[in-house]
Structure 1
Amino acid sequence: MNSQNQIDQLEQLKHFKNKITRFLMVYKFALDEMETKIEILKEEFHLLHDYNPIEHTKSRLKSPESMMNKLFRKGCELSLDSMKRNIKDIAGIRITCSFISDIYRISDMLRRQHDLRIIETKDYIKHPKPNGYQSLHMLVEVPVYMSDGMEHVCVEIQIRTIAMDFWASLEHKIFYKYNAAVPQHLLEELKSAADSANALDKQMEQLHREISEIKEANAASESEMIKRITISNQQFSLPSSLLDLIVEETKE
């Protein structure tokens, strides 16, 4: 091979490497956009509300090897354009919550983000997979601005409770260890564990609801107590007009 051929091959490799790098960068920037949005929501709840529904988040970018393997399995053309068309979870972010109601609360907040376009939603909480897997999956298009223009990039968002996340992590480790050939009794135990996790989620949701009702009742009770004064065991209710007058005097 002469030196010119070597130079040409090197240039081709550099060109291909730059294309791959740019391809992955766009998805990385889309993840950065989503993480920023979620951090803003977390900060808002921290500063303005007494409860934050987001426990933690985790993001990941598929490796080129993983994407190639997925194209092979799906029998798709091996190209970057084919990856973009046929693989919707190149960029993924997982949001973990404490309660099931938090999942739908976060989902609604993301739907209200006008620059996001919801492509697809799969609710594996209302309709669990046969093995017991539960989570809410959303495919969203995120606008990413590069030097040569704007691109809409697909990001998969998984929202689940801590119990759901623990079960999914355990299930993944078992399948990885057995290389997908999992004994039947383990499959049955995994399904039973998923049912137990679901029962725990529902119990914790009920406790959360009851505690919220108690807090609301206490707040209402405290508001009523402020409107009353007690002198020598005699209780007086403060008329609204008097309270308004006091408020006006305080402003002065």
Structure 2
Amino acid sequence: MTVDTICDSDLPMTTTQFELFGPEFTQFVFPYQCAISTLITKVQILRKGFTHLDRHCPIEHVSSRVKSPDSIMAKAQRLRCPLTVADIRQNIRDIAGVRITCGLISDTYRVADLIGGQPDVTVLEVEDYIAKPKSNGYKSLHVAVEIPVFLSDRVVQVPVELQIRTIAMDFWASLEHKIYYKYQRSVPRRLLQELTEAADVAHRLDRKMERLHNEVAGLKSAVDSDDGPLRLEAFDHDHRDRSHYRCAKPHNSTAGPLVRYSPAGGVDVCRNTTHLTDAVLQGDTRE
């Protein structure tokens, strides 16, 4: 797993902008940087745990960024938020951002559950753009969380926007961002249509890779088990409702259970990785 730390500092910070935040801007962003470090540490621990158990690891890549003063002020203006430290801290939740890239659609929800279920992490809001993509085809799971940061004189709760997506989703989003930047958001209609078509292709690829992964996992389970011959139909993840396999245990009492997500693209997903769908692995095809 690679971890990239990105600072949105490519745009120059003018004297006026600096004065709006005051001479202590570095002190203002420090808790956000600490929250990112804390969250990335949690992700690294999860990944090492999967690797140690010689199991499929849902985490492929992690990156992070802290918004620049220009980006913060631009968002504050879009939200009509007063340009004061207190108001910005209260109303803008994505000053700190962490992005996790996963291999499979189901992995994105597994990672969200694993992080959101930790006792010191509070889930503030969930925007599931995988189950309900944006109009341009953008897909990602956005989870706004709050992380405690232990400073020398106090403990502060710091919001972090967690973006979790597959490799295919991330590739599409990266290209889309470059195109929008090149055309200054005035993208020709032909390119917009092709981007939407490309998003659909990426989604079909994700679904196919999910099916292949599940079939291989099923074959391995059958080889390692003495329960009898493999029943291939148990691993045919079609569009049937398999909600009875999902764990209904809440992960966070503040935001409610993450298990409320509906399956994306007909893919069967157990939202709680600590309660594996043993019925499926053992070939139970009950309806």
TM-score range, shorter chain: 0.7 to 0.9
CA displacement, residues 182-236 of structure 1 (integer Å, 9 cap, x when unaligned): 0111110000000000000000000000000000011115999xxxxxxxxxxxx
Structure 1 residues 1-252: aligned runs within 5 Å: 19-221=24-226
Note the C-alpha offset of 1:19: 2.8
User: Aligned partners of 1:132 and 1:214: how far apart in 2?
Assistant: 34
Residue 237 (structure 1) aligns with: none
User: Aligned partners of 2:167 and 2:180: how far apart in 1?
Assistant: 20
With a CA cutoff of 8 Å and minimum separation of 6, indicate the structure with the bigger relative contact order: 2
SS of equivalent to 2:24: helix
> Counterpart amino acid of 1:46?
T
Structure 1: unaligned runs, 5 residues or longer: 1-12, 225-252
User: Aligned partners of 1:196 and 1:220: how far apart in 2?
Assistant: 36
Note the C-alpha offset of 1:76: 1.9
User: Aligned partners of 1:53 and 1:111: how far apart in 2?
Assistant: 15
> Counterpart amino acid of 1:79?
T
Count, aligned residues: 211
SS of equivalent to 1:152: strand
Q: Please say which structure displays the higher CA radius of gyration.
A: 1
> Which moved further from structure 2: 207-216 or 77-86?
77-86
CA displacement, residues 3-30 of structure 1 (integer Å, 9 cap, x when unaligned): xxxxxxxxxx99x766311111000000
User: Aligned partners of 1:104 and 1:179: how far apart in 2?
Assistant: 33
> Counterpart amino acid of 2:148?
P
SS of equivalent to 2:126: strand
Structure 2: unaligned runs, 5 residues or longer: 1-17, 230-287
> Counterpart amino acid of 1:154?
P
User: Aligned partners of 1:54 and 1:20: how far apart in 2?
Assistant: 33
CA displacement, residues 63-89 of structure 1 (integer Å, 9 cap, x when unaligned): 112111221232221111121112110
Q: Flag as ranges the 4+ runs of structure 1 deviating above 4 A.
A: 221-224
Note the C-alpha offset of 1:125: 0.6
Note the C-alpha offset of 1:55: 0.3
More helix by share: 1
Q: Give the structure-2-normalised TM-score.
A: 0.70
Note the C-alpha offset of 1:123: 0.5
Q: Percent identity?
A: 49
SS of equivalent to 2:225: helix
Residue 272 (structure 2) aligns with: none
> Counterpart amino acid of 1:37?
K
User: Aligned partners of 2:181 and 2:23: how far apart in 1?
Assistant: 33
User: Aligned partners of 2:224 and 2:184: how far apart in 1?
Assistant: 55
Note the C-alpha offset of 1:112: 1.6
CA RMSD in angstroms, aligned pairs only: 1.9
CA displacement, residues 96-124 of structure 1 (integer Å, 9 cap, x when unaligned): 00000101111111122000000000100
SS of equivalent to 2:94: coil
